[in-house]
Amino acid sequence: MAKKLLIVESPAKERTLAKFLGKNFTIASSYGHVRDLPTSTLGVNVEKGFQPRYKIIDERKKIVARLKKLTKNADEVYLASDPDREGEAIAWHVAQVALLPEAKTFRVTFNELTKSAVLRAIEHPGKIDMNKVNAQQARRVLDRLVGYMISPLLWEKVARGLSAGRVQSVALKLIVHREREIAAFVPQEYWEIAAKLALPTGEAFEAMLYRIAGEEPHIESATKAREIVASLMTKEFRVTQFEKQEMKKKPLPPFNTSHLQQAASIRLRFSASRTMAVAQQLYEGVELGDEGHVALITYMRTDSFRVAREALDACRGFVNERFGPEYLSREARVYKSRKTAQEAHEAIRPVDVTRTPDQLRGLLSEDQFKLYDLIWRRFVATQMRSMLYEQQTAEVTAGDAVFRATGRKLLFPGFTVLDERKEEMLPLPELSTGTTLRLLDLVPSQHFTKAPPRYTEASLVKTLEKEGIGRPSTYASIISTIQERGYVRLENRAFYATELGMLVSDLLEKHFSRIMDVRFTSHMEELLDEIEEQKADYEGTLKEFYTPFEEELSKARAEMKSVKGVATPSPYNCPSCGKTLLVRMSRHGKFLGCSGYPECKEVLRLTKEGSLALLETTCAKCGKPLLRARLKGIICSDYGHCDYVQPKPEYKDSGEICPKCSGPMVRRKGRGGDYLACANYPKCRTTKALPTNIPCPVEGCTGTLICRRGKGRQIFYGCTRYPDCTYTTPKLPDTTPDTQPPAPAKSDPAAN
């Protein structure tokens, strides 16, 4: 029997696929990309057609060696990485590093991890699509050219640690421009007038002033509002029009990636990265008791609304059985995707629509359940009848003024029976033209025009998609990057541009206007699509970008003014040496540094408004707020007149010795819980996880368990004898909550 090997991206899929394919197949994982451009150099040969210079990722060398061994012994190799450009590139890289001959190499894709989909893909394999690979390589090279050529310039001119990106910089520009719109906005006062009216039967309703003297009312002051109210108090209010119209509200399409990120942000308050991480878990499969490892949703990186025919039929059958034929749409409802959508993909939907969220309650984590519930309801709703309601509009005339009232009356709930957040329907009373109404009150109310709202994750993703900036699969990383670089901060779920972000955006917009242009960025995305469609070639696309970019770069190197090291005097003196404090710029924004640097290295923090960053606690001597100084510690904000210094907390000696300086290790508290730190801080910054004193359960191991943080900041417990013992566990064995140590801290609070 032929030896067959199937290679996937994620090890989470291995068990599921092994169950489907049986003993005929060996399943292995590449753990994502196995090759990439080098981190130390540009890695692109610009002179030779922008040829990438790939190297095996250090962390993947053992994996590559294993894959080579497995592929050498296999008669047929099936590359089953994800069904998108990135997955196609991963398949190609695996084939390249393993030196796979084309004759025994096959490319298979599936949008869902079900037995039928997997077996169907194996029965109809294809070859690696080099058009997709070239489109992915072009994107990677474009991003590398921008990142590796502009970022060093920012390091030189602004501060170390900064970065620029082909797409992230445009996203930053959107937020910065909105920040300036808000700052420049001047509110305008306006007034509205509401009439509280009653029918002869006593039924009351409210109408708003809609027209006066045949024109839209512009009431800009309380005086004008009072004049209008006084003139109408003696008028007769009569119904001059009452209309009813039956309206439909159709269900939204099933989710694609960007719409899922937006809905999860609004409904669940999930960040884009959190949404994608949870969706990945649902796609790759979760443990469902006796059923074992089960995939719950289709592939979650897609820009398509297409749904497979069998999935549509299954959904319609479910609706008919669960809700009745009166709730089933007359025909299968299909939705049109955007022109640039990859229609080979499906929308995000449940793998098995009959697996309801209620059946999974208690089997999924809280995040998994919430997201699955959102996806399931959205998909099922697509094949249900529209909501029917009666739209009511009434006009009431009083002198030369016309008031308008609107109401809605539910006729049939349709798909909205699935929505836990019911829309409020407030119908008007039954009105007749010519009916005289009794005026109960005329109420003027003051309002002010509002500045444009700040971007949230949902609205930023929506704008990026609308403008054609990036692709849905990149939105999460774009948003994470501009936050990690300190360019924006997320506060109350809204993005605020920092001073550093505004500075960097202004410099880039001034010297790299094409890269920062929304339309140009969108045009480059279209060219990447055209490479995949064989309408554009790899080298020509990159050359179109690079030739003017090289000119801009050369000009920027000569003309961009440096703000690095530029300092302006502040009104404050140094609390350590008495010299003037200077306002300086770092990657974290402006701060106060001593003019006596480097002899005096005192540093004080500033707020975004430029004033001293005060603490909530107050001085024990004079009652004024305290502030944090790097050398002095916590001192009085009136330090020129008050010499109060807050005593440093005494930390309990843990009995352990610092491995670097041999000083005592003390127990300290951080934002993530207790941890051990060297008592000689800040000279020695050594920290250690808090020991649990619980023996490692591995037989023969003499180590104990300690709390650690892995990638993504997840907490786990591992043996102190690592790497000799690699035991890990997400929870401590045989412990109570009282004996479980807290998570390791992110950093020493004394360093903040």
DSSP-assigned beta bridge partners for residue 191: 446
- Compute CA distances 59 → 63, 67, 718, whole Å: 8, 14, 20
Q: Which residues have a Cβ under 8 Å from the Cβ of 466 and sit 6 or more positions away?
A: none
Q: Tokens for 646? A: 């807050």
User: Rounded CA gap, 342 and 702, in Å?
Assistant: 55
- Chain centroid, CA 333 distance in Å: 30
Task: Let me know: does 90 contact 120? Beta carbons within 8 Å.
Answer: no
Amino acid letter for position 621: K
Q: How far apart are CA 380 and CA 375, in angstroms?
A: 9
The distance from CA 188 to its chain's CA centroid, rounded to whole angstroms, is 34
**Which DSSP string corresponds to 627-687?**
EEETTTEEEETTTTT---BPPPPP--EEEEE-TTT-PEEEEEEETTEEEEEETTTTT---E
Interatomic CA distance for residues 137 and 153, integer angstroms: 24
Angle (nearest 5°) at CA 270 between 462 and 336: 40
Please compute, for residue 577, the number of CA atoms within 13 A of its CA located in the half-sphere on the CB side.
16
Q: Say how many residues make up the chain.
A: 752
**3-class secondary structure for 307-327?**
CCHHHHHHHHHHHHHHHCHHH
Cβ proximity of 304 and 340 under 8 Å:
no
Which helix H or strand E contains 558, and what residues bound it?
A: helix 538-559
Q: Give 73: exposed, middle or buried? Use CB within 10 Å, 0-12, 13-18, 19+.
A: exposed
Helices (H), 102-129: 115-123
Structure tokens belonging to residue 226:
């009072």
**What distance in Å separates the CA atoms of residue 642 and residue 648, rounded to the nearest whole number?**
18
Token code pair at residue 317: 């059958």
Distances (CA, A) of 413 to 247, 328, 378, 552: 12, 12, 15, 58
Residue 267: name the closest of 415, 371, 380 by CA. Answer: 371
With vertex at residue 306, the alpha carbon angle to CA 463 and CA 455, rounded to the nearest 5 degrees, is 15
Pairing of strands 633-636, 401-412: unpaired
Tell me which residue of 173, 167, 85, 257 sits closest to 470, measured CA to CA. Answer: 167
Active site residues: 299
